[in-house]
Amino acid sequence: MEDMVPEGYPIEKHRVNTEDGWVLNMYRIPHGKYRNNKPGPRPVVLLHHGITLSSACWTLLNANESSAYILADAGFDVWMANTRGNTFSRGNYKHSYRDPEYWYHSMDEYALIDLPAQVNTALAVTGAPKLAVVGHSQGGSLAYAMLAAMPEMNEKVSVVAHLGPVVFLDFLRAPFLKAFSETRNDLFFYNWLGELLPHRYLAPYVHTCRDYAWSELCMSALNTAFFGPSMFISPDDNPIIFQTWPASVSGRNMAHWSQMLTDSQLRFQRFDHGTNCSSRNQQFGETCNQQRYGSLQPPEYDLSQITAPQYLFEAGLDTMATNEDITEQKRRLNPSAFAGSTIYEKYGHMDFVWDRNARHAVDLVDLLYRYAPQ
C-alpha cells in the first residue's frame, strides 16, 4: 500500500488490534502535498471501501483523481480502513488464513467490532472530537449498522457520506449476486466455506486483465456481473485497477448478504444462524438464533435509531445500490438524521472510486466541511 502513494504525500500505517484477535491495518495521509500541507490539526475523515475491495481503491489513480489525495489536499486528515481478511489486513493471533475459522466473519464483525475500533484509533491518534465517515457500497452499510446498534458511536461521527450504499437487496439487479443468493442454504449450513476471490490465486488470471488488449473486456464483464455500467472508468486505468482487485472476501460475508436477499422481507439484519440448536450444527462455536439473539429471527439494524447525519450519493446506473434501495433507506432513516442526497444520473456503482474525473468530489468536500467540528 505504501508503494502506491505518490511522492510528496506522507503515508502512515497504523495497526488496530480487535477484541477477538485480529490485526487490522489502517493507512493515514495526515496532510496533502499541493495545498494544506502543513502538519497540524485538521478535520478527520475515515474512508471505508466496499466488498471485494480494499483501501487501495482510494489511492489507485493519479493525485488529482483519487479520493484520498483530493481530500488530503483539501485540508483533511485522511484515514483508510480495511476489513479483516482482505489483502491489507491478514493478521490474526489465533488462526492462519488456511483455517476455516479464520474466515468465520461477516458484516456483523466488520460493523460491530472492526469499525468502532478503527474509529476509536483515528480519534485517539489525532485527538479530534469527531470524524466523518465516507463509505462506498458495503462501507456505508457498515456505518449504518454500527450507528444503529451502538448509540454511543453516533457521538463520535460528524457525518456519514454514503457512496452507493447497499442495504435492501430485494431491489438488487446485479446478475452475479442474484445468482449467488441461490447457494444460500449451502453457505449457511457449511461453515467451512472460507475465502472467496483470493487475489493470490486469481492473480494469474487477473493478470490477463492488466493487459491493455483485454482490460476493457474484463472491466465490462465485471461491471455487468456486479456493479452496473460505467461511462467514466477509463480503459487506461483498468490495468492499475486489476493490480489490487479483488482483495478477497469471506464466504460467510457473502452468505450474510445472500440471506438478506433470499429472505425478501426488506430486512437489514444480523447474520441468520438458523433455528437448529442441536450440537451437531454448532461448528466453530456456532449457535442458533435462539441462543445468540433470544429470538427465532436475527435482530434488524434499525436505521431509525441513527442520530448522526447521513448523506446519500446515488448513481443512476447502479445495479447494486439501486435507486429503489436508496429510496427505502431514506424512508427508514430518522428525518433528523437524513442530511440529504445527490444523484449522479450517468454514474455506475464503481464510478465513485474509479472515475478519474471524480465528478462527485467537489460535493463531497463541501459536505465534509459543512459538518466538520469547529
CB 310 within 8 A of CB 326: no
Of residues 55, 67, 89, 137, which has the active-site annotation?
A: 137
Average pLDDT over residues 26-53: 87
CATH for the stretch 2-370: 3.40.50.1820
Average pLDDT over residues 188-212: 55
Higher-pLDDT residue of 167 and 4 is: 167
CA gap 106, 126 in Å, rounded = 29
∠ CA 229-53-109, nearest 5°, is 125
pLDDT at 200: 55
Task: Choose the most confident range, by mean pLDDT, from 81-85, 132-136, 220-224.
Answer: 132-136
From residue 114, give the alpha-carbon distance in Å to each of 19, 24, 91, 111: 9, 8, 13, 6
- Residue-wise burial string across 62-100, b where 16 or more C-beta atoms lie within 10 A, e elsewhere: ebebbbbbbbbbbbbbbbbbbbbbbbbbbbbeeeeeeeb
Of residues 105, 162, 199, 349, which has the active-site annotation?
A: 349
- 349 carries an active-site annotation: yes
Q: Is the pLDDT of residue 50 over 90?
A: yes
pLDDT at 103: 77
CB 78 within 8 A of CB 31: no
Q: Is the pLDDT of residue 188 over 50?
A: no
Task: Choose the most confident range, by mean pLDDT, from 95-99, 217-221, 233-237, 327-331.
Answer: 327-331
Which three cell numbers, joined as nine digits, stand for 328?
A: 427505502
- 236 carries an active-site annotation: no
**Cβ neighbours of residue 18 under 8 Å, at least 6 residues apart?**
24, 84, 113, 114, 117
Q: Is the pLDDT of residue 274 over 60?
A: yes
Of residues 108, 237, 272, 318, which has the active-site annotation?
A: 318
pLDDT at 136: 97
pLDDT at 189: 44
Of 90-94, 125-129, 203-207, 214-218, least confident by mean pLDDT is: 203-207
Q: Is the pLDDT of residue 213 over 90?
A: no
- Per residue in 335-373, pLDDT (tens digit) is 999 999 999 999 989 899 988 888 899 999 999 999 999
Q: Is the pLDDT of residue 246 over 90?
A: no
- Per residue in 96-112, pLDDT (tens digit) is 877 878 878 899 999 99
Share of residues in the chain with pLDDT > 90 (%):
52
Q: Is the pLDDT of residue 277 over 60?
A: yes
Domain boundaries along the sequence of the chain: 2-370
pLDDT at 180: 63
How does residue 198 score in pLDDT terms, banded at 50, 70 and 90? low
pTM as predicted: 0.90
CA gap 213, 201 in Å, rounded = 22
Average pLDDT score over the chain: 85
Which three cell numbers, joined as nine digits, stand for 225?
A: 456481473
- 137 carries an active-site annotation: yes
pLDDT at 287: 77
From residue 361, give the alpha-carbon distance in Å to each of 42, 73, 230, 366: 18, 12, 17, 9
pLDDT at 149: 99
pLDDT at 264: 63
Average pLDDT over residues 160-166: 97
Q: At what angle do helices 138-149 and 115-126 cross, to 10 degrees?
A: 90
The amino acid present at 167, given as its one-letter code, is V
- Per residue in 113-160, pLDDT (tens digit) is 999 999 999 999 999 999 999 999 999 999 999 999 999 999 999 999
